[in-house]
Every structure is written in C-alpha cells, then in structure tokens.
Structure 1
Amino acid sequence: MPVVGWHASHEQIPPSRLLRDVRQAEEAGFEAAWSSDHFSPWSSRQGESGFAFAWLGAALATTRFPIGVVNAPGQRYHPAVVAQAVATLAEMYPGRLSVALGTGEFSNEHVTGDPWPDKATRNARLRECVDVIRALLTGEEVTHHGLVRVDRARLWTLPERPPRLLATAVSDATARWAAEWAEGLITIWQPEDVLRRVAEPFRDQGKPLALQVHVSWAPDEDEALRIAHEQWRTNTFPAPLCWDIATPEQFDQAAAHVRPEDMHGAVLIASDPKRFVEWLLKAADLGFDEIYVHHVGQEQEAFIDCFGEHVLPELA
C-alpha cells in the first residue's frame, strides 16, 4: 500500500488549530502530511490563509513524519528566498521535507501588483526558478537574468541532502513537460483515464507519484454533502478559470450556481468509512506511492478519529 497522509489546508483553518490537527493526524496513524501555501482563501466562507513556511517549522518540530508543501516561485516568492527557506527546514529536519513546485494561481500572485503572465510564460518562469533553486541548494553562487533575476546569491546554510523537488500537474501536457525536470509528481483526484495519462510520464521514468484526494465525511450523508458544498464549491472549476480568478469574492460569484449535487465530481463524499477504503484502494491500484487525504471541512478532529479507527487500518 502507498503512504497515506493528511492534508493541512491553510485556506480553511487557523495555523494554531492546524498544528493541533497535524499532531492528531500522526497519532491516528497517518504516515505523512502535506501543506497548502496560499496568500488568500478560495472563498470568504473559508476565511483563513496562514503563512505556510512559518507553520512548517512548528509542524516539523512537533511531529516525526514527513511533511510536504506546495510552492509557486517566480512572482510572490523569489526563487532565492524559496531556496533559503527549504534549505533551512531540510537542515533542521533531515529527510522529512518535500516541495512541489507549480506555476501558481492569480488569486495568490496578484498581491505583488505585477502582471499575470500567460501559461506558457509561467511555465518558462517556473523552469528558470527550478534551475536557480537547484543550483543554490548545491552551494553554487547564482547570477541569472531572465524572467526572474538573481544577483550573486549563495546559500550559506545547506542541508546534507536537499529536499525532494516534485512538480504539480493536473493535465497530461503539463505532466510531460514537468517530467523533464521534476523528481516526482503530485496531482489531484480525477477520472481514472485522466489520472493514468497524467501519471504516465513519471511512471515511465520510475519517479514517485503522489495524489491529493478531496473528501467530505460526516456521520450523516446529508451533512457530508452540506460540508462539501459550503466549503469547497469554489474549487470545482477546471483550468484555466481556476488559475485566473483574482479574489475570494470573485470565486464566490463564480460559484453562485454550483449545486450541492455538483460536488460529487470534485469531492469524494460519504458517511460510511468503507466507501473511502474502496476509493483509496482504487487510487493505490493506479500506482500512486503517496496519497494525501484532504477533508474539506473546517473541523478535522472527528474526521481524523474516524479515519484512524476505520479507514487507515484497512489500508495497512
């Protein structure tokens, strides 16, 4: 079976509570965790957005399992700053940090006031950032003039081993491009045929595959559906729309006509834990090495207890 981890959603939960939740997740039997990294939430109902790197230091200090984080270097984050942040965490907590690099979303990146590039330019910018980050993590002094600019940067604090640099991708086209430079892939739950195509370029190279699965659980099926619709209906839009919306208020406007029944495509919704066992076994059969479960509700305690008692033992 793959590693089954828990996802920390900074857009929905204050970092102090997320710290309590990640500790509970480890105690319940989750084997790893993953963290989002947003400047703003997807909707005003979610209502949070703590700084992921500050939280990661505390989370790694108070747990023992591996933790990963998504990051979008190039606009909100300068790649030299990303390299310094991940090098420091990897030096403090050897072998426990992974970073998944992507091109980002306008909702987080517009805060710089810079123009939002088209996807091809964002891809090219990300590739430059990856090269800069990798060079810095090996101790090189880097000067670079391109879509990002770096002047004589060098990291003086380095880990014995740099963290894994994965790619984020939801389409097979992006996955094929990312397989050229990334050490592995993290993607999201999609129809089986799409997942196979997205995973194929990495599987062909023997690189690790990770999957994020959005779920909604409650003891009552109607309540599970209500949670999914209340918290996650702004996250049902396909690319490029989801990349290009600027504010939580605009996301809420775009989601005004999303019905509760529409949530079943984006979120796995059930009250019976056996359903989640079936879904996660299916994901394992697709060849994913790591599966990160994100309960889309804001209250995590009962969900973690349920999965720890009824789901994780069935997957061991």
Structure 2
Amino acid sequence: MVFLGYHASHEQVPPSRLLSAVVRAEEIGFDGAMCSDHLAPWGIAQGESGYAWSWLGAALASTSFSLGVVTAPGQRYHPVISAQAIATLEEMFPGRFWAALGSGEAVNEHVTGDEWPPKDRRNTRLRQSVDVIRELLAGREVSRSGEIDVHRARVWSLPADPPPLLGAAVTAETAAWAAGWADGLATVAQPPDKLAKVLQAYADAGGTGPRVIQIHVSLEDTDAAAVQVAREQWRHSAISGSLWDIEQPEDFDALAGEPSDEQLRKGALIAHDASELADRIAGLVALGFDRAYIHGIGTDQTAFLDRVERDLLPALRGAL
C-alpha cells in the first residue's frame, strides 16, 4: 500500500496553527507528515516562516506517526549543528524521523552574508556536509577542511540508530548524483515525463531506499476558487528558470508577475472534484513512488483537512 502523508508548509501557516493541522492530519488517517525548513516565504502573501526544528519537536511529541524535513546543511546551518538536531529528534522519537538533504536556496541562505555558490560548489558542499553528519551520527570525532571546515566536533547525545538521510532532487542530474550517498529520494511534482526521468536517473545510478514525492494541490469547492488560491499563494511556481538563486520574497513576486490560469495549473494540481484529483495524484505515484505527501496550498488548513477526510483520502485509497 502506498504511504500517504501530509505536508506542513511553514511558509504559509503560523507554527501554532500548523501544529494543530499536523495533529488533525494524523486523526483523519494520513500515514505521516513532512515539513519545509525555510527562513523566508516564497512570496509576501504567504507571510510566514516558523523555525522547523522547534516545531518538529512539538509535532513529534503531539503525534505518533513519522515526520520528516527537507533541509539544507552547509550555509545557514553548519553540518555539525544539523547533525546535533537530527540526533536529538531521533533519540527522543526513535524510528519516527527522517531528513531529506538538499543544496539550498538563496532565499534562505543569503542572510549569512557568505557568497552564494554556483550549483557545482553547492553540491560539493552538500556532499561534504552529508559525510560530516554521518560520521557524527556514528559517534565519531570529526575534523574537516574544504567547502566545510570542522574542528574536532562530536555529537554526544546519539540515537540508537541514525535516521534515514534522503537526497532532495528536482532534476535528473541531481537525482543521479544523490544516488551515490542518499538513503532514498525526495522530489516534488512535475510533469510526468520529467518525474520519470528523475526516477530513472536515480535508479540507473544505483539509488536505493524510498522514493518520496511532495504534491502541491489546490482543492476548493469550485474550479475558479481553486485557481484563485493558487494565484494568491503559489504563483511563484509560474517563474520560468531556476528558483534557487532568488534572494527575497518580493523578488519572487516580481518575477512571477501576473501568471495566466494555464501557468498556475502547471505549478499545482488544481481541482474542485476530489475524485478527479485523486486520479491525477495516483497517476504521479504510479510512476514509481513509495510515498506521496499532499500539500494543500491554501492557508485554511482546517477546511482543507476536512475536505481531505471527507472526499480526497477515501478516493485516494481507492485509486492507489
């Protein structure tokens, strides 16, 4: 059976309400949850960005299912600090935590004042960070010099077993690269042909572990309302080209401009019919994913989760 999870979006919902939402997500039948780890939202209208690691402790203590986070060690977080945070959550909640590690986005990382490196250097930095984190989670003392400098670091409070460290990848090239070190693959919904290439690249490079997809949806009572939610909350997805080098939410808004309905439909699954949405989600999962995390892109998570309980989850269970 395919694992169906809930995605908690820190950029759109205050952390207190998001905690209530993840508790509700377990109550209505989701198998687990994941969250983002941003310092800033994608756009001004989103207007939030709680600290993921504080929230994760509260969320794990308030639920009994698994939770994961997509995070970027290397600039805003030194990998020693990332390793300590990962170890603490796994020690407190054994077998319930995972992290997907990515090379980061300028909107979150530029605040350190350090140079924002090109993609090849970010990948090198991430790989070095992953190696440091794994060594620390194994209880070893670590010193390194390179894209990441570490001096005689050690994490003292360790879990019995380290949690899975997945690779976050959007392109086939990054997926193939991540296959060399990751315990699984985490990606986001794209056109099926692009997703198929991401999965194939990961497999061809020897990638193992779960294949995880995050799917953005706008499910409202009418199609017009669903489009409007996407326009207000998710129009940055209409930006052509890379999102990773943009520094400010205002810049995302300016670059997105006023996208057409057709452009918005490419950035999220927009629907008013839950059965039809379930079929579209099932089509993406069928490409080869083990877990799907559903992200309702509106800010009213209470209404979204009520609709999911009533209509979407039953339809999804039937479609998968």
Normalised by the size of structure 2, how large is the TM-score? 0.96
* 8 Å Cα contact 1:30/1:308 also seen in 2: no
Choose which of 202, 211, 215 in structure 2 pairs with 1:209. 211
The structure-2 alpha-carbon separation of the partners of 1:239 and 1:182, relative to structure 1 and needing over 3 Å to count, comes to farther
- State how 1:1-12 maps to structure 2 within 5 Å: 1-12=1-12
Match in the other structure for 1:252: 253
Q: Greater relative contact order: 1 or 2 (C-alpha under 8 angstroms, separation 6 or more)? A: 1
- State how 1:75-114 maps to structure 2 within 5 Å: 75-114=75-114
* 1:311 and 2:318 correspond: no
CA distance in 2, matches of 1:29, 1:113: 43
Normalised by the size of structure 1, how large is the TM-score? 0.97
- State how 1:1-316 maps to structure 2 within 5 Å: 1-204=1-204, 205=206, 206-240=208-242, 242-316=243-317
Which letter maps to 2:131?
D
CA distance in 2, matches of 1:263, 1:121: 32
TM superposition shift of 1:280: 1.9
Which letter maps to 2:214?
Q
* 8 Å Cα contact 1:209/1:288 also seen in 2: yes
* 8 Å Cα contact 1:33/1:66 also seen in 2: yes
Give the unaligned 5+ runs of structure 1.
none
The sequence identity of aligned pairs, in percent, is 51
**Range 305-314 or range 97-106, more displaced:** 305-314
Local SS of the residue matching 2:24:
helix
TM superposition shift of 1:164: 0.7
TM superposition shift of 1:279: 1.2
TM superposition shift of 1:260: 3.0
TM superposition shift of 1:221: 1.3
**Range 99-108 or range 205-214, more displaced:** 205-214
Give the unaligned 5+ runs of structure 2.
none
TM superposition shift of 1:238: 4.6
- Write out the 4+ residue segments of structure 1 that deviate beyond 2 Å after TM superposition: 201-207, 235-240, 313-316
What is the Cα-based RMSD across aligned positions, in Å?
1.1
Local SS of the residue matching 2:234:
helix
Q: Deviations over 1:84-138 (max 9, x none)?
A: 0010000000001110000111010000011100000000000000000000000
* 8 Å Cα contact 2:173/2:201 also seen in 1: no
CA distance in 2, matches of 1:126, 1:134: 12
Q: Deviations over 1:143-188 (max 9, x none)?
A: 0011111110011100011111001111111111010110101111
* 8 Å Cα contact 2:216/2:296 also seen in 1: yes
CA distance in 1, matches of 2:64, 2:241: 36
Which letter maps to 1:49?
S
* 8 Å Cα contact 1:215/1:293 also seen in 2: yes
Size of the aligned set, in residue pairs, is 315
**Range 38-47 or range 192-201, more displaced:** 192-201
TM superposition shift of 1:202: 3.4
TM superposition shift of 1:239: 4.3
Which letter maps to 2:269?
L
* 8 Å Cα contact 1:103/1:123 also seen in 2: yes
